[in-house]
């Protein structure tokens, strides 16, 4: 398998005539130097646990201040599930944080389209901002309970099918289990 510039495993894919690299990284998304880092946010946009808490802690008060401005203007009731919005990246090594609210997994209701929407909407926002490298976490696979294999499949299929100007998507995965699930999804 080819490797990227920093020793990351890489699989290339092409869609709609535009070349896009998909890179898997096992590590901390708050350490990724990218144009945009995607936050698996809660609807309040005011921080929380997991990826959301880590991004707010490491990014500093500038991110929270931007989120508060968004809440007081456009998103008084919070950001709807499946939508995305951008803020400054504060102290993170990125230009922007793109916040998206993933769905809570349910045995009784298929919410796959909402999860796919998180990835599509984040790429749409990245395009609007001119961002060409985007780092994603495994949205909804933590406390929201989405099964990792299915979450990886939806993420990879959605990114591959997206019409975007983004040149590189990085899936930044916290542990070996998540990495293996995304590696299998890329191979499928």
Residues annotated as catalytic are 52
Tell me the CA distances in angstroms from 29 to 108, 120, 130, 139, 170, one per residue in order. 31, 19, 20, 12, 9
Residue in 15, 23, 78 with CA at minimum distance from that of residue 46: 78
- Could you tell me if 135 and 36 are in contact, meaning their C-beta atoms sit under 8 angstroms apart? yes
Q: Supply φ then ψ for residue 118, to 5 degrees.
A: -60, -45
CB contact at 8 A, 135 and 34: yes
Q: What is the DSSP string of 61-128?
A: HHHHHHHHHHHHHT-TT-PPTT-EEEEE-TTSSEEEEEEEEPPPP-SSS--HHHHHHHHHHHHHHHHH
């Amino acid at each position: 398998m080819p490797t990227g510039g920093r020793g990351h495993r890489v699989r290339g894919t092409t869609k709609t005539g535009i070349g896009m690299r998909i890179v898997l990284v096992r590590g901390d998304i708050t350490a990724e130097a990218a144009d945009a880092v995607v936050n698996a946010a809660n609807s309040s946009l005011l921080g929380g646990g997991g990826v959301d808490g880590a991004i707010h802690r490491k990014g500093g008060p500038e991110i929270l201040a931007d989120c508060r401005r968004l809440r007081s203007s456009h998103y008084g009731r919070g950001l709807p599930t499946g939508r995305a919005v951008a803020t400054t990246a504060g102290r993170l090594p990125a230009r922007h944080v793109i916040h998206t609210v993933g769905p809570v997994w349910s045995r009784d209701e298929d919410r796959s389209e909402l999860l796919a929407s998180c990835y599509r909407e984040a790429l749409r926002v990245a395009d609007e901002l001119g961002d060409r490298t985007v780092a994603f976490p495994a949205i909804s696979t933590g406390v929201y309970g989405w099964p990792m294999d299915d979450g990886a499949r939806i993420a990879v299929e959605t990114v591959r099918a997206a019409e975007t100007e983004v040149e590189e998507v990085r899936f930044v995965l916290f542990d070996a289990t998540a990495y293996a699930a995304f590696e299998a999804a890329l191979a499928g």
